Structure 1
Amino acid sequence: MNTENPGCLTGVARAVALVVVLPVRLVWDALAWCLRQLWRWILAPVCRGLAWLLHHLVVIPLQWLWEWVLAPIGRALAWLLHHLLVVPLRWLWEGILVPVAKALWWVVDLLVVTPLRWLWRYVLGPVCRFVGAILAWAWRIAGEISRAVGRAVRWVLWNAIGRPLAWVYRAILTPVGHWLRTWVWGPVAAAGRAVRAAARDVRAALFGGPR
């Protein structure tokens, strides 16, 4: 094969591609033509027939039912509901309930709210403020008295108990303790150390010293 001529290779490749693709294209075109014929002569007429049947057997009866039955019944029910329920309730609210509520509120305001407001403004409020001021003053004075009593009790306790005890500690207990430590505890401790040393010497002499 002459590989130096690109035109020859191109022609061979095109021929091979045509041999491979041609059957596929023929089958594709045949299938597409069959589908177009199927849609044109069978599916499209069937769909138009079904649409016509749906329109005349479902849509038109439902439209007629809504326009001549359901809508008039709905308007009649709305009219009855408005005139038998809404209008009486509105009249009851505007003509009876609202005036009665206003009258009751006027009575409650006149007999309860206004007296209570007057009582709080001119009696209870001033009394509560006066009592609060008195209690605050009494609490402050009681605190000052309590602090003074505490200082007095501390002074009495210090002079009656604390000062004598401090003097006894400084003048008697401290010298006695020093004397006992020097003349009693010191000799006793020295004697104890001497006894322990003699006991160790006796034990060593009798049983031998530790190895």
Structure 2
Amino acid sequence: MDLEKPQADRQRDPEVREPEGCLVVAIRLPVRIIALVVVLPVRMLWDALVVVGRIVRDTVLRPFGRALAWLGKALFVWPLVALWRWVLVPVGRALGWLVKWLVVVPAVWLYRHVLTPAGHATAWVARGIRAALTWIYERLLTPVGHGFRWLTRYLVVVPVVWVYRWVLAPAGRAVAWTVYWTGRVLFVLPVLAVWRWILVPTGRVLAVVGREVWTALGHAWRVTGHLSLAVGRFLGTLFRWVFVEPVRWVYRTVLTPVGHAVRDAVLRPVTEAGRAVGRATRRALTSVRESVRQARYDVRRMLFGEPRERVAMARREPAGGETRTLEKRVRREVSPPTRG
């Protein structure tokens, strides 16, 4: 098992690792061995489940899905399409026509002939009110506002700014400086020392261990994949030579000749005998039907007598192979009658 990458792979790898310490080398080999032992049954079980899942998908789920898709189309899609095409679309068109002539057209007429003149009148009144309010603001409220702003600035803002700048700001800076150094000495420096001298080295060791465990698991997963493939091929070959080939040999060398012998010695004679029996049965049934028909004829003749013979009617068409021609007709009409 190659635990280190070759030099050529290291040169091709864009992320070349730095030289590692003895701790990494000491952890890597046992971790990879343990990971290989742990991952091997999991990988073989996973490969078996993948094969079973593919078989179930191809033989069960895919035909079932196609049947469900056809059933869904037959139960939902086609009825919905028919409902949309033959019910909803005509109803929607009728409703659109009704809405247009019962709502839109009256609303447009109301907006054009009622609301628009009312809006123009309201706008004219609003312009007059605006002009009045503008005059009140410019002539009355603006001078009052300027005076109130001057009083507020010199009676409130200037004293408050002076108190903030010369009293509150220095006192706040002193309190903030005291709090900062107190918190730094009591909390920040101890936490910084614990982080720098305890947590960082421990985290680096745990990172090395975790990285090696993850790398070992990946390596074990790839190795167990090859082992699982080899085991699967071995089991397939074993199943073939233990079960499939003997069954094929028995079928080819034993069952096929026996089947041919049974077909030639038993089935064909039985079939021919069945056909002969069928022909004899059909002939017997035919003779029975003829006998029954003759008996019925005899009974009818004894009860009702001989049937009357039909009188032959003169036919206008020539019988047999004789054909009608103009020469024969003229000869028949011209020839004298025969005396008796």
Compared with structure 1, are the counterparts of its residues 178 and 79 closer, same or farther at alpha carbon in structure 2 (3 Å cutoff)?
Answer: farther
Residue from 119, 122, 143 that aligns with 2:225: 143
State yes or no: 1:96 paired with 2:165: no
Count matched residues.
154
Compared with structure 1, are the counterparts of its residues 62 and 140 closer, same or farther at alpha carbon in structure 2 (3 Å cutoff)?
Answer: closer
Residue equivalent to 2:159: 76
The Cα of 1:98 is off from its aligned counterpart by: 7.2
| Distance in 1 between residues matched to 2:224 and 2:249, nearest whole Å | 36
| Distance in 2 between residues matched to 1:125 and 1:162, nearest whole Å | 52
TM-score by length of 2: 0.36
State yes or no: 1:110 paired with 2:201: no
Residue from 279, 282, 299 that aligns with 1:200: 282
Residue equivalent to 1:63: 146
Residue equivalent to 1:35: none
Opposite residue 256 of structure 2, the aligned amino acid is T
Residue equivalent to 1:19: none
Q: CA RMSD in A?
A: 3.7
- Stretches of structure 1 that go unaligned for 5 or more consecutive residues are 1-50
| Distance in 2 between residues matched to 1:102 and 1:134, nearest whole Å | 45
Residue equivalent to 2:261: 179
Residue equivalent to 2:242: 160
Residue equivalent to 1:124: 206
| Distance in 2 between residues matched to 1:132 and 1:65, nearest whole Å | 75
CA offsets per residue over residues 157-211 of structure 1, 9 Å max, x none?
3333233222211110010111122222222222223333333333343346xxx
Opposite residue 272 of structure 2, the aligned amino acid is A
Which 10-residue stretch deviates more, 164-173 or 100-109?
100-109
Residue equivalent to 2:302: none
Q: Taking CA–CA contacts closer than 8 Å with sequence separation of 6 or more, which of the two structures ends up with the larger relative contact order?
A: 2
TM-score by length of 1: 0.53
Compared with structure 1, are the counterparts of its residues 94 and 188 closer, same or farther at alpha carbon in structure 2 (3 Å cutoff)?
Answer: farther
CA offsets per residue over residues 117-168 of structure 1, 9 Å max, x none?
21232x2233234334443444444334333333433343333323322221
| Distance in 2 between residues matched to 1:120 and 1:202, nearest whole Å | 105
Opposite residue 265 of structure 2, the aligned amino acid is W
Give the percent of matched residue pairs that are identical in Structure 1 and Structure 2.
Answer: 29
Compared with structure 1, are the counterparts of its residues 179 and 59 closer, same or farther at alpha carbon in structure 2 (3 Å cutoff)?
Answer: closer
Larger Rg: 1
Which secondary structure does the structure 1 equivalent of 2:248 belong to?
Answer: helix
- Stretches of structure 2 that go unaligned for 5 or more consecutive residues are 1-134, 291-340
Opposite residue 131 of structure 1, the aligned amino acid is V
Compared with structure 1, are the counterparts of its residues 66 and 207 closer, same or farther at alpha carbon in structure 2 (3 Å cutoff)?
Answer: same
Higher helix proportion (structure 1 or 2): 1
| Distance in 2 between residues matched to 1:139 and 1:183, nearest whole Å | 61
| Distance in 1 between residues matched to 2:217 and 2:143, nearest whole Å | 90
